[in-house]
Chain A
Amino acid sequence: IAGITQAPTSQILAAGRRMTLRCTQDMRHNAMYWYRQDLGLGLRLIHYSNTAGTTGKGEVPDGYSVSRANTDDFPLTLASAVPSQTSVYFCASSDSGTGNYGYTFGSGTRLTVV
């Protein structure tokens, strides 16, 4: 693993089903984030975690949950998927210790809810 790994790459999901998007980083970054990317809306923050054991809500948290049991993993769960959750989901991380605010992004998960 180098950087951030997201899985799956893409998924077609029936409405009402539960789905967990996985995100793993190997950079020992403290902070991690989930964004969704929608045409014309840019990237919107769903949830974030400043450090292991803590999480917070972003701009569009409804219908999503996250957990941060350790530094490396930050899974995003859709408890009961709806078509409006069709999007491309990006996980990102940043090192809060150096003052460098650049994010490292994963390659994304393309989710289609039908």
Chain B
Amino acid sequence: AQRVTQPEKLLSVFKGAPVELKCNYSYSGSPELFWYVQYSRQRLQLLLRHISRESIKGFTADLNKGETSFHLKKPFAQEEDSAMYYCALSGVWGAQKLVFGQGTRLTINP
């Protein structure tokens, strides 16, 4: 079954420290993977997609098909990075239906 797992519900790091939000997936085909972010009192928004191989707000994520992972990383955390982060996978139930992980709430301490 197609599945996205984010093992950490909560993650707390200090400002300036490196951040890694873990995401593992299960999918038999070729996956399309995404990270979405939800800042306090705001709607979900796309942070980055693996197919674009871009860096947004200093975050990067590399698709590792061998480990079926798509971890989100940032070398130096900033307080404004505090938010809820969701990893998502498409390809389920036909094209474009996103399956989301459980989410990780990231808190950056000053």
Contacts and interface: CB of A to CB of B under 8 A. Distances in A.
Interface stretch (A20-28, A63-71, A79-87, A102-110): A102-110
Interface of B: 4, 6, 9, 32, 34, 36, 42-46, 49, 86, 90, 93-103
Nearest to B98: A103
A44 B49 contact: no
**Most chain A Cβ neighbours within 10 Å, of B9, B95, B97, B99:** B97
Contact of B95 (A90, A96, A102, A108): A96
Interface in A19-62: 31, 33, 35, 40-45, 48, 50, 56, 58-59
B43 A101 contact: no
Given A105-B43, A107-B43, A40 B9 contact: yes
Contact of B34 (A31, A41, A102, A107): A102
B2 to A, nearest CB: 10
A11 B43 CA distance: 18
B101 A94 contact: no
